[in-house]
Amino acid sequence: MFIKRIFYILIIFISIFTTVVHADDLEETENELNTMVWEDTEEEVANTDKEIKINSRSAVIYDRKSKKIIWGKQENTKRPMASTTKIMTAIIVLENTNLNEIVTVSKKAGGTGGSRLGLKAGDRVSINDLLYGLLLVSGNDSAVALAEYIGGSVEGFADMMNKKAEELNLKDTHFVTPHGLDMQEHYTTAFELAQMADYALNIKKFAEIVNTKTATISINGKQKNLKNSNELLGNLYGVNGVKTGFTNGANRCLVTSVDRDGMNIITVVLGADTKKDRTNDSKKLIEYAYKNYEIYSLKEDIKEKYEEWKNINEKRIDIIKGKETNVSTNLEEIDNYYIPIKKMEKEDIEIKIFNLKEIKAPLQKNSYIGKLCVYLNKEKVMELNITTAKEIEALDFWDYLKILTCSIL
């Protein structure tokens, strides 16, 4: 009986340890020793189209021209983002230092685990080459070396990252590290990660690096060849960046920029179970966007509708107790009139104008008197204010006296 108990205990012990490590865990090396678990939430999925089914827990298709979401799945849910963190790391580096400056690698940076460029304490590398190590091979050691050099410490650099996130109005994003290894207060959303990437891609050097398939850098004067870890770069038409990511807490992540026929989108997938899933999910999102959508400018439609309304309705607005008999108006100007629409959907665009029937003087210039609303499939996609073009003064004593005199005569 005693021998049987020992045998059963050994069987249980062996079975436990043979289920801890999976083949998928060996695909990438961005692991964190203190792995945390992020639970999926039952949050309402916004802007989801049933035509796409993906494995990733959060995802978004973001149009760079209109700055709008084409499609999303839990795109506003906070999640860990692994090494896609390095998009913000690169932004801070590129905006705060000279690429030719030389960094001496610290013991802490050289000892950073996970995916690595292969730095050792005492190595001397340029900022430029560290950036290639950061973005092509996702070097966590590069991230710490850059953070310490620019921010004085990892913590100081994280403060810079969070300040930039606040500047970009990324309200659901928070950084603790420059590399993205799992930490409880280190998170973003698919939507805000797309906005972050959009901003970064406007920096010429960043766009150049993430669109580089292979590069040769120098460490201590010795050359080292690097290959971009982005599996879609060079293998899918129009892809020109951006960044991969993996930790046990975040699962597989991928941010992708695509430019085809004048339509430039960013796709983000977070929390894919395998590398194959994140690749396939990204491809699905990209092909769906280009097959079904176009980017349409509403500017001429809005201008035509407003002028038509103006010619008829400005004279119909009554001015009570005002020196003016007619009101003149202005339509709010905006920087971006673009919206993503499904192909053949232009007929479903509707523009309506709502205005006050009467206004009471006095009124300051730019006082609100109405609004122009644009609807797509009965959903409002844009709203512009209509305001007074000049000040309208109220009638005074002498004006009333003049009116009375004229009426008597």
Catalytic entry in 58, 115, 138, 142 = 138
Give catalytic status of residue 310 as yes or no. no
Give catalytic status of residue 86 as yes or no. yes
Question: End-to-end CA distance of the chain, in Å?
Answer: 125
| CB 103 within 8 Å of CB 16 | no
Distance CA 79, CA 187 (A): 5
What is the DSSP-derived secondary structure letter of residue 245?
E
125: Cα separation from own chain's centroid: 31
3-state secondary structure of 199: helix
Give catalytic status of residue 138 as yes or no. yes
Other C-beta atoms lying within 10 Å of the C-beta of residue 219: 19
Catalytic entry in 73, 86, 164, 305 = 86
Catalytic entry in 83, 106, 142, 257 = 83
CA angle (204 as vertex; 189, 144 as ends), nearest 5: 60
Q: How far is CA 71 from CA 67, 78, 191, 205, in A?
A: 12, 17, 10, 29
Distance CA 385, CA 344 (A): 28
3-state secondary structure of 335: coil
Spatial neighbors of 307 by CB under 8 A, at least 6 apart, are none
Q: Which two tokens stand for residue 155?
A: 């913590």
Which amino acid, one-letter code, is at 184? Q
> Catalytic residues, which ones?
83, 86, 138
